[in-house]
Structure 1
Amino acid sequence: MRRKRQSAWSRDLVRETRLTVADLVLTTVITDSESAEGPVPSLPGVARLGLDALVAQAREAASLGIPAIALFPHIDPSKKDGSASEALNADGLVPNAIRRLKAEVPEIGVIVDVALDPFTDHGHDGLMQGDVIDNDSTLDILARGAVILAEAGADIVAPSDMMDGRIGIVRDALDEAGHPDVMILSYAAKYASAFYGPYRDAIGTASALRGDKRTYQMDPANTEEALHEVAMDLNEGADMVMVKPGLPYLDICHRIKTEFGVPTFAFQVSGEYAMIQSAGENGWADSDRLLLETLTAFRRAGCDAVLTYGAIRAAKLLKS
């Protein structure tokens, strides 16, 4: 077996799994507050960006061949309320960001979340009745919000809320509003994970969150439930499905790809990326190699694409 490993060219010749720039989606955090722009302390190497900086970052990503960018908003806390009204503001941060990207960097695809947690004063993904997440009343605002994002120019809307039935409601709303070509990337298997901590700091929901999200996000111990979630979402009209978090759930990625054979994405979430960055900054490991190794692991498990904060960095490493 060692004979094939003796040189770089022979290792390359027999390599089974290939990671390319085309497999990467850049995840980025945007903000409507100048005072909030800048590095996120709990997420090394990641900063909240204003719209000018977002356009510059998207141009760099596109020049490297990264096919798409996924946006996550940090909004002024004064705009948050219990009904997530800012999610329906057609002149809000996310719709304006989409319009800027489509006008100035049209060659890159734009993916936007459909969820309420960046806009609620309680930090949950759905509307609340007392201490309970109200599934059905949430569906209407998700559908209306998805249409607003599509009208701004989003190429893919990504419901990440884990409300039951939301894919079908969103698909119907998009079709009825004249957006049949807008794709749906469903966060079909989204687990109630401890790996989301730095992201919640980045979008400003960590301090606001009341309780936890285990009544609607999945139990990390479950596999068969993930397959059921995927089957439901595909039946309702999802074009692609996503597993979140990524690295601790490679078995789920593999099962989904094997069972359904559909475009399967994974999200290398904030906690995963923060660990890679911290290991490098503290001299515990080579963070460049960690990044490429983990991204390759997603591809080996069957993922068609990976959402990562390290997309630009990985693209440069791959090109070099």
Structure 2
Amino acid sequence: MTDIRSGRRAPVGARRRVSPEARRSGIGLAMALPPVVLLALFVGVPVVLAIGFSLGHTGGLNSTIASIGLNTREATSWWGTAQAYVDVFTDPRFTRDLGVTIGVTVVSTLIVLALALGIALNLRLRGGRLASVFAGLAVVPLFIPVVIASWAILTFYSGDGFVRTVFALVGLTGPTWGYTTVAVVIGSVWTSLPFATLMAISGVQSIPDAMIEAAKDAGASSFSIVTRILVPLSAIPLVIAATFTAIGVLGSFTVPYFTGPNAPSMLGVDISKYFQAFNHPQQAIVMAVVVFVLASGIAFFYVWANFRSAKKEGRV
């Protein structure tokens, strides 16, 4: 091999010099590889095995659970079988609970967004001590364990709880929301509000004051400022808050388990019942796959929001 610049022949065993960019890339890859490997081993492999088991692949690492579980469907072709999915989707209990899960997720997400956005707008436009108190109270559930909050909500709205007691003192009959879907919505809003509030406040507070002052000088009303400036410019943080809230409520277990009824119940509770109480692990995994697909559809908006944010900042 000949060196073009000097015209001399380079030694046969000479090593190529590694550029600083390639060295930095190698170091970055080596630092990122351990968490990626751990994620693949402890998350990726179990997910693949679970999906394969839902399609009837009962051999290998799935052989033990297949031999213990009841009504396990085995694969009839190379890709598997969809009979387990047919069994689940033809069960009226599943379709009922799926509708309840989607309904609770939608209602809880809308309420959380409305409350978080209202607190953020109040803090941005009016300010003051009262607005700061509201913002602080909205973050309080972040420091209370979900189990404690769920039990408190249940006892607060139960038949002999605080609400009915206060109504009884004035001769009225108060509502009983313990062990109802309403209690599940209340608990979901309670646990999801802190993160959404922080995201909404950060998005609204990042808008320059000059834009708001210019709109006021042009004669814009407060409603116009909110609908045409504050909300559109903070759309990305709001979308992120909505996606995290929806995914959290969709896969929740503690809140519906403590505060919700036995039937209809959310899919998080159904998965636990089918896996433990009914000994139908394959059907439970089918439900988990359904929740995963729904969560992936919601996560699309999160990816879109991040892409829009990166594109806006010139990183894409």
Question: The TM-score by the shorter chain falls in which range?
Answer: under 0.3
* Larger Rg, first or second structure (1 or 2): 2
TM-score when scaled to structure 2? 0.22
TM-score when scaled to structure 1? 0.22
Looking at secondary structure, tell me which structure has more strand per residue: 1
Looking at secondary structure, tell me which structure has more helix per residue: 2
